[in-house]
């Protein structure tokens, strides 16, 4: 027989174990996951039970993101997209995997919807202006002849997606960089993984692009902040707040990456149709949609299209809303929202 004190401790432990079992069955907690992918970071919040196995979940997420990187990272010479970019002839179709095929399908639709304002073949122009990998930070205003020469090497219409899942070029010089869609696609892929695992409430963020599944642990919609579109503004300085539930959200802006020359600002957002950085007063574009891949690509395109044409496009698209922010010559910000866009603050 145990001494009385031991029996008391044992009884408390048994009671505590019973409470934990009950909590595991009905209680919930926030599970925080973080890591690196696609040249940036990811942060995930999952509402799960107290006994949810975090390690295997993190491992599954990292494996899924690694697979997408292996397909579409231009920083990996052995990726599918890098092997495609290395093709030197138009009669060399390359078989590509399902992830690449899915992103190419979205990209084709973006190119069509935006009438070329979104284009995944812009790298030669981005490099020319000093915003790319080949000469980072060497910002200068290229000669008009240089821009015209680079324009001849781009054009998403020069990519052929074959029905059997192969990819080829109409023009050998063309190359792909799908970063403005692939990151959003990664968000969607992780969200789908979580849903397949039985989770209904979660927030997935990769490099600022977001998918919000269900609700927060308090039953309220997820709250996503739009950063104040000013150079040097802290990343936590919020301009507007959006409530999300089973929706994706993406923002693009020109206020982080730019250079100035003779009092004029040149941003990294290049108009594929002219070869020059945009100059339409748009400083930020945010989009909510059913998928983050679509929201991601559209946010980039709206920066190029401008406020009026951008809002007109969004208003035509089912399940898509957006906010475009412009800055006038007196440094005042102006909101241009689609019909159904709702924000607080």
Residue burial 240-264, b: 16+ Cβ < 10 Å; e: rest: bebbbeebbbbbbbbbeebbeeeee
Share of the chain above pLDDT 90, in %: 77
Distance, in Å, from the CA atom of 285 to the CA atom of 298, rounded to the nearest integer, reads 9
pLDDT digits (tens, 9 = 90+) for 113-159: 999 999 999 999 998 998 877 655 567 799 999 999 999 999 999 99
| Domain locations along the chain | 90-169
Question: Residue 52 has which token pair?
Answer: 């949810």
CATH topology of domain 90-169: T-fold (1.10.3980)
Per residue of the chain (345 residues), give pLDDT as tens.
333 333 333 333 333 333 333 344 448 999 999 999 999 999 999 999 989 999 999 999 999 999 999 999 999 999 999 999 999 998 889 999 999 999 999 999 999 999 999 999 999 999 899 887 765 556 779 999 999 999 999 999 999 999 999 999 999 999 999 999 999 999 999 999 999 999 999 999 999 999 999 999 999 999 999 999 987 778 788 999 999 999 999 999 987 777 887 778 888 899 999 999 998 999 999 999 999 999 999 999 999 999 999 999 999 999 999 999 999 989 899 999 999 998 766
**Contact indicator for 194, 38 with CB cutoff of 8 Å:** no
């Amino acid at each position: 027989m145990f001494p009385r004190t031991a029996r008391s401790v044992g009884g408390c432990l048994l009671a505590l174990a019973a409470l934990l079992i009950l909590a595991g069955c009905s209680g919930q907690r926030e599970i925080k996951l973080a890591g690196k992918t696609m040249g940036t970071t990811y942060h995930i919040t999952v509402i799960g039970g107290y006994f949810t196995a975090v390690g295997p979940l993190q491992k599954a997420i990292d494996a899924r993101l690694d697979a997408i990187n292996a397909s579409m990272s231009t920083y990996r010479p052995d990726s599918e997209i890098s092997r495609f970019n290395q093709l030197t002839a138009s009669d060399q179709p390359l078989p590509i995997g399902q992830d690449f095929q899915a992103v190419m399908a979205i990209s084709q639709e973006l190119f069509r919807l935006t009438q070329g304002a979104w284009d995944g073949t812009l790298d030669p122009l981005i490099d020319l202006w000093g915003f790319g990998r080949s000469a980072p930070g060497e910002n200068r205003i290229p000669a008009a002849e240089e821009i015209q020469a680079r324009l001849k090497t781009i054009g998403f219409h020069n990519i052929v997606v074959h029905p059997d899942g192969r990819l080829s070029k109409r023009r050998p010089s063309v190359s792909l960089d799908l970063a403005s869609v692939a990151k959003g696609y990664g968000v969607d892929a992780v969200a789908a993984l979580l849903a397949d695992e039985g989770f209904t409430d979660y927030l997935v963020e990769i490099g600022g692009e977001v998918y919000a599944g269900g609700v927060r642990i308090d039953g309220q919609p997820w709250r996503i902040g739009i950063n104040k579109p000013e150079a040097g503004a802290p990343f936590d300085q919020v301009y507007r707040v959006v409530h999300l539930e089973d929706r994706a959200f993406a923002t693009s802006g020109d206020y982080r990456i730019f250079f100035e020359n003779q009092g004029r600002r040149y941003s990294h957002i290049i108009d594929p149709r002219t070869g020059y950085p945009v100059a339409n007063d748009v400083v930020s574009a945010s989009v909510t949609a059913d998928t983050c891949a679509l929201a991601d690509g559209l946010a980039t395109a709206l920066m190029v299209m401008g406020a009026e044409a951008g809002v007109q496009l969004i208003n035509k698209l089912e399940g898509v809303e957006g906010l475009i922010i412009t800055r006038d010559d007196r440094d005042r910000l102006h909101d241009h929202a689609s019909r159904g866009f709702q924000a607080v603050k």
